[in-house]
Amino acid sequence: MLLFGIYCDQGKITEANKLLDFMKHSNIPMTQDIYASMVTGQSRSGDLEGAEGVLDKMKADGLEVSHVVHTSLLCAYAERGLTDKIAEVTYSMCYYTHCIVC
């Protein structure tokens, strides 16, 4: 998991995907942290659309998207200065968690 996170932080998505395949074949459960790293990896490799797609993959896998994964997506948007996307995600997080400050 540590090496996977390092590859993702560096945007080395090819290497990260190889490790991800190994983890899946080894029946290592996919966690919120793994998905969050996937968001970061996709974004840092230049594939923001792929980063956003990780959330859809999580939902398809029957997992709820947590604040950990949303935070990774917010960081991806912040690194690109996409304030409109940050506001959109923040609002959706508040809507689904019944946040009072939004």
What mean pLDDT, rounded, does the chain reach? 90
Burial of 29 (C-beta count, 10 Å sphere; 0-12/13-18/19+): exposed
Query: What residue spans define the domains of the chain?
Result: 2-97
Per residue in 9-22, pLDDT (tens digit) is 999 999 999 999 99
Report CA 95 to chain centroid distance, whole Å.
19
- Cβ-in-10-Å burial (0-12, 13-18, 19+) of 40 comes to buried
**pLDDT band at 67, cuts 50/70/90?**
confident
- R_g (Cα) of the chain, nearest Å: 14
At 28-53, the pLDDT tens digits run 999 999 999 999 999 999 999 999 99
